[in-house]
Chains A and B, each alone.
Chain A
């Protein structure tokens, strides 16, 4: 007699009880954490994609809590494509091992796992209580990582330094922070996000995620007709608040450019 049971382990984190009825916003920017009415939180990146946190441990290597998570309308969330890779552990923060493999790894930039050769080395890097700094990663999430070269001496890897130079998920993924992406949604969803704040000199790319064609027009620039999946880019060299609209519908959006 064999029995099959699916274990769906979910971690519930009690936060502000009013979070579920929080007002939604359509204004968010690259680097923001976003969610819909569901529970999952995503990292919205410069490439216009949303990045999934495969589990809570991964999230907490990057963030202390859920403050700053913006709730956006579900229809807008659905318009944002999922990234082709998931968020991985913040480099240097913790060591990990795979459930069914006894090897212990440090996490280097870009989700690269580097095997820690000995217990002494683990102690040197993470202290006597290094075992408390090892997380078990489920087999199914191993594909999120790549295995790099191992670590033989403590000088090969300095956890604090690696953490310092990788303070954001965008840095970890090697995303260009002078880029930002707006998805042209359906006429009911409008631009996703409809309002975005970027730094001076950022190139904003509009990607048409709608089945119909759209032409976006700003002050002194216009895209020409964009059919599905076509893109248009415009660089904002000076600060200010710049409105733009879709020719032929009531869709409009704003790019706020700051120093």
Chain B
């Protein structure tokens, strides 16, 4: 016996729901028509389908707030797509693939490489939190980087960063059309996504029957990358025009059989993937197209930084911390999270947000802190997590001060670490990326010359001091040193 699976739908018997008019709908509402299926009404005016009941229940615990529309009101709302699992809530696997994935933002699947990491993130009973996703809904997800260690992923941070489907899908109030209209080409050639599994450049294959090839310089993109598109038509017909598109925008237009152009990947607010296309118009009017899809590795940690004043702090003492957002972000709010709890939110404080609080714990107790930045379109960027360690003893107070906060490409910068302790400081280290670059054997300020540094980086230094009783205090520089291109 063989069978193919058919659709799963959410059935709901609403006995008491009163019909509402479309005019009273607000983005974020749950809606249904005369039938049982429930939809999410998005910020862009489109309705989103829950492909499985499990998907629904990662977002909602019940059906208490579903509004009922008439069939024609429902039909007037265009379908936008399918909802994906709320990030962080559950683990998923694909029916015919034994790998277990965590769900990250925007429906990215992150393969958890080891059972140890799965246990650390989802507890000893992690295997009871794995849902099977039918093969047919695999296309709703995209592949993100895999999780090697528990520190690569935080279920609670992922959940917090996606409070709604609007946020997770990055839906906005603007009409749901691309900023630049895509030149219509009929018939539309199906986009064959080139799975960016290969890190080697895609090379044109000489024996291809298609006379048109599209190659790109990078098959996996990062924010602010420059992507070079190359189109080559090897047929015999005369070419009247070759156009290259990136993300629906025209990059360049050529009249030759070969055409090359550069596109810039936005530094912030990037999409999960971009499509590059070439459209060749032949002299006989025929239009040939080729396209490729490149995934983007997004990592908010390059755009958001959190810096605690002290990395080791005596239990019951106050510790300050500051979050910095990159200047490319249109910041609407910054949140500081300590021990998985949102402790402070800043709005209208520009690109920084500071807070201090008392951290209590035994010797060696860890307090993870991170910051999230929400931009004006509701997208969330999360910093790397930094651990503050409790000590039961008095800890030397350490400050790390770079001589400058901005340097030019190729310049060096002096970094000074000072420390004080009521029992006396015996040694001080200047540290970069966990490595001591200078060791001073007295309590006097310790200065190291570091660099030269290359542009595009954002430098964080730290320092250690050991007091006469052997207790170590650690601190990070309070503001990153930005290395910029020479004017």
A14 partner residues in chain B, CB cutoff 8 A: 1
Contacts of A17 in B (CB 8 A): 1
Q: What residues of chain A lie closer than 8 Å to B206, measured between beta carbons?
A: 235
With A11-B3, A52-B138, A54-B7 as contacts: A100 and B33 at CB distance below 8 Å: yes
Given A11-B3, A203-B205, A229-B197, also A4-B8 (CB < 8 A) = no
Q: Given the interface contacts A2-B63, A143-B139, A174-B189, does A229 sit within 8 Å of B4 by beta carbon?
A: no
Stretch at the interface among B11-19, B389-397, B464-472: B11-19
A69 and chain B: residue at smallest CB distance? B2
**A77 to B52 CA separation, bound complex (whole angstroms):** 24
Closest chain A residue, CB of each to CB of B71: A100
Cβ A8 vs Cβ B11 within 8 A:
no
A55 to B9, CA, bound (A): 13
Q: Interface majority SS on B: helix, strand, loop or mixed?
A: loop
Q: Is A23 an interface residue (CB 8 A)?
A: no
Q: How far apart are A198's CB and chain B's nearest CB, in angstroms?
A: 12
Say if the beta carbon of A81 comes within 8 Å of chain B: yes
Residues from chain A with a CB closer than 8 A to the CB of B53 are 4, 6
CB distance from B383 to the nearest CB of A (A): 29
Bound-state Cα–Cα, A108 to B75, Å? 23
Task: Quote the shortest CB–CB distance from B252 to chain A (angstroms).
Answer: 24
Query: A138 near B9 (CB under 8 angstroms)?
Result: yes
B5 x A35 contact (CB < 8 A): no
Minimum CB distance partner of B184 in chain A: A149
Cβ-neighbour of B205 out of A5, A9, A143, A233 (below 8 A): A233
Question: Using Cβ atoms and an 8 Å threshold, which residues of chain A touch B14?
Answer: 2
Write out the residue numbers on chain A whose beta carbons fall within 8 Å of the beta carbon of B5.
8, 10, 39-40, 55
Whether, in the assembled complex, A47 has its beta carbon less than 8 Å from a beta carbon of chain B, the answer is yes
- Which of chain B's residues has its CB closest to A207's CB? B197
Residues of B within 8 A of A111 (CB): 190
Binds A, one of B92-100, B170-178, B454-462: B92-100
Q: Is the CB of B187 within 8 A of A109?
A: yes
On whether the beta carbons of A40 and B79 are closer than 8 Å, the reply is: no
Interface size on A, residues (CB 8 A): 81
Asked whether A82 lies within 8 Å of B94 as measured between CB atoms, the reply is yes
Q: Which residues of A contact B37 (CB under 8 A)?
A: 99-100, 139
Contact status of A146 and B2, CB under 8 A, knowing A8-B8, A38-B95, A230-B200: no
| Least CB distance, A59 to chain B, in whole angstroms | 6
Q: CA of A10 to CA of B15 in the docked complex: distance in angstroms?
A: 27
Chain A CB within 8 A of B49 CB: yes
Are the C-beta atoms of A85 and B75 separated by less than 8 Å?
no
Q: Which residues of A contact B49 (CB under 8 A)?
A: 139-140, 142
B210 at the interface (CB under 8 A from A): yes
A15 touches B2 (CB 8 A): yes
Asked whether A4 lies within 8 Å of B75 as measured between CB atoms, the reply is no
Residues of A within 8 A of B226 (CB): none
B188 within 8 A of A: yes
A84 at the interface (CB under 8 A from B): yes
Distance between A191 CB and nearest chain B CB, rounded to angstroms: 17
The answer to whether B2 and A81 have CB atoms under 8 Å apart is no
> Chain B interface: which size bin?
35 or more
Give the nearest-CB partner of B55 in chain A: A140
B135 CB–A CB distance under 8 Å = yes
In the complex, which residues of chain A have a beta carbon less than 8 angstroms from the beta carbon of B71?
A: 100
Q: In this assembly, does B24 line the interface, its C-beta being within 8 Å of a C-beta of chain A?
A: no
Q: Which residues of A contact B62 (CB under 8 A)?
A: 2
Which A-chain residue is minimally distant from B37 (CB atoms)?
A139
Q: Is the CB of A138 within 8 A of B3?
A: no
Asked if B136 is an interface residue, CB under 8 A from chain A, the answer is yes
User: Would you give the 0/1 interface string for A98-138, flagging 1 where the beta carbon is closer than 8 Å to chain B?
Assistant: 11111000001111100000000000000000000000001
A178: contacting residue among B9, B11, B81, B207, CB under 8 A: B207
Q: List B contacts of A176 (CB < 8 A).
A: 205, 208-210
Q: Which residues of the partner chain B approach A36 to less than 8 Å between Cβ atoms?
A: 96
Residue B180 lies at the interface, judged by CB distance under 8 Å to chain A: no
The answer to whether A54 touches B2 (Cβ under 8 A) is no
- Contact at B2–A66, with CB atoms within 8 Å? yes
Identify B199's interface contact among A47, A49, A230, CB under 8 A. A230
The reply to whether A175 and B192 form a contact with Cβ atoms under 8 Å apart is: yes
A200 CB → nearest B CB, Å: 10
User: Given that A47-B192, A86-B139, A143-B82 are known contacts, is A39 also in contact with B4, CB under 8 Å in the complex?
Assistant: yes
| Option from B9, B12, B15, B205 in Cβ contact (under 8 Å) with A179 | B205
Complex interface bits, B203-219 against A, C-beta within 8 A gives 1, otherwise 0 = 00111111000000000
Q: Which residues from chain A contact B9 at a C-beta distance below 8 Å?
A: 6-7, 138-140
Least Cβ–Cβ distance between B368 and chain A, in angstroms: 30
Contact yes or no, B79 A101, CB < 8 A:
yes
Q: Is A154 an interface residue (CB 8 A)?
A: no
**Residue-wise interface mask of A (27-69) relative to B, using a CB-CB cutoff of 8 A (1 in contact, 0 not):** 0000000011011111000010100111110010000001001
State which of B95, B188, B205 has its C-beta within 8 Å of the C-beta of A110: B188
Task: Specify the chain B residue showing the minimal Cβ separation from A91.
Answer: B187
Which of these, A55, A98, A108, A175, contacts B4 with CB under 8 Å? A55
Q: Does B284 contact A (CB under 8 A)?
A: no
B3 proximity list for chain A (CB < 8 A):
10-13, 39, 56
In the bound assembly, the distance between CA atoms of A199 and B208 in angstroms comes to 13
Instruction: Answer whether residue B186 sits at the interface, using C-beta atoms and an 8 A cutoff.
Output: yes
A85 to chain B, nearest CB (A): 6
Q: Which residues of B contact A212 (CB under 8 A)?
A: none
From the candidates B33, B39, B95, B97, name the one contacting A40 in the complex (CB within 8 A).
Answer: B95
* Alpha-carbon gap, A110 to B94, bound state (A): 25
C-alpha spacing A47/B79, complex, angstroms: 30
Contact in complex: B35, A100 (CB < 8 Å): yes
Please give me the residue from chain A that is nearest to B9 by CB atom: A7
B1 and A78 form a contact (CB under 8 A): no
Closest beta carbon of chain A to B185's beta carbon, Å: 10
Contact, CB under 8 Å: A85 / B8: no
CB of B74 closer than 8 Å to a CB of A? yes
Can you give 19 contacting A-B residue pairs, CB < 8 Å? A2-B63, A3-B12, A3-B13, A38-B96, A40-B96, A59-B4, A78-B98, A85-B190, A100-B75, A102-B75, A109-B187, A139-B49, A141-B7, A142-B49, A144-B139, A173-B192, A174-B190, A177-B209, A179-B208
The 3 closest A-B pairs by CB, nearest first: A110-B190, A138-B7, A140-B51
Known: A2-B12, A10-B4, A99-B37. 5 other contacts (CB 8 A): A2-B64, A38-B96, A82-B94, A85-B139, A112-B188
